[in-house]
Chains A and B, each alone.
Chain A
Amino acid sequence: DIQMTQSPSSLSASVGDRVTITCQASQTISSYLNWYQQKPGKAPKLLIYAASSLQSGVPSRFSGSGSATDFTLTISSLQPEDSATYYCQQSYDTRDTFGQGTKLEIK
């Protein structure tokens, strides 16, 4: 199975900060990488698909980049409502896998 490793596992940042979360695959997955946001008590929500495509309705401060094994989710100017856990997920294999999650807190 393809292993997905996110870093950091948690972070705390201030409103207006630029935040970066990384996701590394154990083998190349081309651009078959998606990002999800999950707020407490809620179901996850798709943010970014195919590594860099912004899902409809998602604020433009969110962006994704990368290919092969290394990927990044960036929030350009952190907002209070961005407090959540973020997950990456690969769809390269017929057996999907998720990263372990990154919990983002607002200072």
Chain B
Amino acid sequence: EVQLVESGGGLVQPGGSLRLSCAASGFTVRSHWMTWVRQAPGKGLEWVANIKQDGSEKYYVDSVKGRFTISRDNAKNSLYLQMNSLTAEDTAVYYCLRKDYGSGGRGDWFDPWGQGTLVTVSS
């Protein structure tokens, strides 16, 4: 069974840092682009960052550029998100996702979804 389990969330003060981890099982992360998506309380889904299979390409939403760093350890089948200079606007459930794909170049999609990890930025 394909599974993604996020951890590392919690309460942090504004300006603080947090490192999220994601343990993958049932598949090999080295075969997939990986992604972080977040959802603020009562709000919609927001894509945060993508990382290529070998880590050579990384992309971020503008609001986190320069503050967040996505990384991966293919040997540990894991994904990470280092979050610095946190603000209240970063309060959200953070989901670790794999970009799944089929044949024929039809794009990719997020499946499955774990339960996420809650990050709360507050004094």
Q: A residues engaging B (CB < 8 A)?
A: 1, 30-34, 36, 38, 43-46, 49-50, 53, 55, 85, 87, 89, 91-92, 94-101
Which residues in A have their C-beta under 8 angstroms from that of B27?
none
- Chain B 91-123, CB-CB to A under 8 Å as 1, else 0, gives 000010001001000111111111110000000
With an 8 Å Cβ cutoff, the count of chain B residues facing the other chain is 25
Q: What's the nearest-Cβ distance from chain B to residue A26, in Å?
A: 15
The minimal Cβ–Cβ distance linking A44 to chain B, given in whole angstroms, is: 5
Whole-angstrom distance between the alpha carbons of A49 and B108 in the complex? 8
* Known contacts A45-B113, A94-B50, A95-B61; A100/B107 CB under 8 A: no
B 47-85 to A, binary, CB cutoff 8 A, 1 in contact else 0? 100100000010101100000000000000000000000
A36, A45, A50, A85 — most chain B CB neighbours (10 Å): A50
The digit string for B38-52, where 1 denotes a CB below 8 A from any CB of A, is 000000111100100
Contacts of B115 on A, CB cut-off 8 Å?
43
Chain B residues near A87 (CB, 8 Å)? 44-45
Q: Are B109 and A97 in contact (CB under 8 A)?
A: no
Q: Tell whether, in the assembled complex, residue A89 and residue B110 are in contact, meaning their CB atoms are under 8 Å apart.
A: yes
Q: Tell me which of B57, B99, B110, B116 has the highest count of chain A C-beta atoms within 10 A of its own C-beta.
A: B110
B47, chain A: closest CB distance, angstroms: 4
B44 & A96 in contact (Cβ 8 Å cutoff): no
